[in-house]
A and B are shown apart, each in its own frame.
Chain A
Amino acid sequence: MKLSGIRYLTNQGIENIWKNKMMAFATFCVLLISLLLVGCAGLFYINMNSMIRGLGNQNEIAVYLSPSTSQERVQEVESQLNMLDNVNSVVFIPKEEAFRRMQSQITQQGQEIFQYIDDAQFMPDGFSVIVMNNDKIEETTALIMQIESVESASSYPQVAEFLRELRRVVTLIASAVIIALSAVSMIMISNTTKASVYARREEIQIMKYVGATNTFIRTPFFVEGMVTGFFAGAGAFFITLAVYNSVYDILMEQRTLMNAFGVGSIIPFESIINYTAVTYLIIGSVVGALGSSVSTHRHLDV
């Protein structure tokens, strides 16, 4: 086919959107809703995963030393901690750092109290000990407690285990929901594109009678579906952007509460903006194009 032929068919596809604007609008809406359903489910899952991961990976033992511990002793304790079998890493948390962390996790009202305290001396030095095997975290905690100068060692193995299980269940449910929504969306898209093509079945038959090949007939439908899908993807992206940012702002106001529970934060849209836009546009275009051209198939056998 000549370049002029390809240009003609592409133009036909674009013109057909306007000429069949009602059906094109119906396809656009169905694609938009489908993309939003699946997209929102996906983003919800990604965020749930991120939040739970903040807790599920709690393989940390917080170790606090007695306030009177000397710097030499602190180094000795660090060496002893590193010698334990199940210990993966040991990070020293000086009292200033512990003080800053506590401040960031305290509510607005609590912050008011801290404005009268500007000295971290009352805080103990400590260590953040990351274990290799979470199943042995209790055992390791007990061993750390036996080390001299260690005031306390705390870990939450049950919570961590519960959250890991929760994450697994959420993954399963989210996957099932996304698959189900994708299937429903595909049926909706398929039916809409079929209806759209059915309305123009005579047009297809006429094309066949004058000797048009299947490719010649399908190409404008393909272009039409792709352009409609692309715009549906763009629409879904902008709606997602607006809704996500609104929800994000609301949840960020509750950040201190979330921090108190130890959950990870909501992913800011800026960090996934490119990924989301590209995914919406590609899926919209591909599904639109394929749905439209595949639906022509049954009318081509003339």
Chain B
Amino acid sequence: MVELQNVSVTYSSGVDALNNVSLKINDGDFAFVVGSSGAGKSTMIKLLLKEIDATSGVVKVNGYNLNKLKKRKIPEFRRTLGFVFQDFRLIPSMTVYENIAFVLRVLDAPQKYIRKRVPYVISLVGLESKASSYPEELSGGEQQRVAIARALVNDPQLIIADEPTGNIDPELSYEIVELLKLINDQGTTILMVTHEHSLVRHFGGRIINITDGEVSYDEVIMGSGNELLPIGNGFGEMPQYEPPTDESSPIYDDPYIDDILASIMDSAPAETIEIDEEGGAE
């Protein structure tokens, strides 16, 4: 679970990156964090990774109160998380197998367990034939799948994905999010930062929009692609989608969400979602 209570972050330069942010992501949730560049998404990620500390407010992740977390306890805390980054961040000198196994070695897991667990996770992301390849020998999509396998291998409660589709082909982006959705179906909480409207539009779900360091929108919307497609089969034409028409929804108050909705409007509507009184999708 992730909980931010009135969190503000002001950098030493005087820039207010986050301003009195409060939000709660429950266990098993899948949430998109969206926002324009400089809105405060990266700051939020840094906060959740305990890379930086909040200037004020309370940050709780996986039962750890990060405000009170001692430096020597940070490794222990991070072992409860999985990370997926835009630039993959695989160790170039290690093979796919070793990159994934490394997480378990950090946990001092028995060799026997590593030998069983790592091939299993590699098979989950469909890279059995690439286990002994080095990252540079893989495509962007494959590298990101390795990163997801690495994030998954220690069975974390929460996976934080920071623009995981930012460095890969658009068609592979769906595949990556599908993979994260599948992981989420198994009960792992996923927090995915993205600026790709099409993905948000396609998958829907909880959308947290950050504007100028504040949560300007936090609602659940239904995606246009309402069926999970098998990984590796391609996604073909997306199901048609009809955008919401309730102009009073807070979704219309934010320019960034406007962009997303505008792109939704562009596609020919075929399906209707209803937004409830509280702004959530039904």
Contacts and interface: CB of A to CB of B under 8 A. Distances in A.
A4 B150 contact: no
A4 B107 contact: no
B93 interface: yes
B92 A212 contact: no
Contacts of A203: 91-93
A206 B106 contact: no
Main secondary structure of the interface of A (DSSP, over half): helix
Contact of B49 (A8, A207, A209, A213): A209
Contacts of B51: 302
A206 B93 contact: no
A23 to B, nearest CB: 11
Given A211-B76, A211-B78, A213-B75, A206 B108 contact: no
A202 B89 contact: yes
Interface in B69-101: 75-79, 81, 83, 89-93
B108 A211 contact: no
B103 interface: yes
Contacts of A207: 91, 102, 106
Contacts of A110: none
Nearest to A8: B105
B123 interface: no
Interface in B127-174: 150
A19 interface: yes
Contacts of B103: 210-211
B93 A19 contact: yes
A248 interface: no
Contacts of A302: 51
Contacts of B90: 206
B93 A16 contact: yes
Given A207-B102, A211-B78, A4 B111 contact: yes
B111 A206 contact: no
In the A-B complex, the 6 residue pairs with the smallest Cβ-Cβ separation, listed nearest first, are: A211-B79, A211-B78, A19-B93, A211-B75, A212-B106, A210-B103
Interface of A: 1-2, 4-5, 8, 16, 19-20, 202-203, 205-213, 216, 302
Interface of B: 49, 51, 75-79, 81, 83, 89-93, 102-103, 105-108, 110-111, 150
17 contacts: A5-B108, A19-B93, A20-B93, A203-B92, A203-B93, A205-B89, A207-B106, A208-B78, A209-B89, A210-B150, A211-B75, A211-B76, A211-B81, A211-B103, A211-B106, A212-B75, A302-B51
Given A208-B75, A209-B49, A210-B102, 15 more contacts: A1-B108, A4-B111, A8-B105, A19-B93, A203-B93, A205-B89, A206-B90, A207-B91, A207-B106, A209-B78, A209-B83, A210-B103, A211-B78, A211-B106, A302-B51
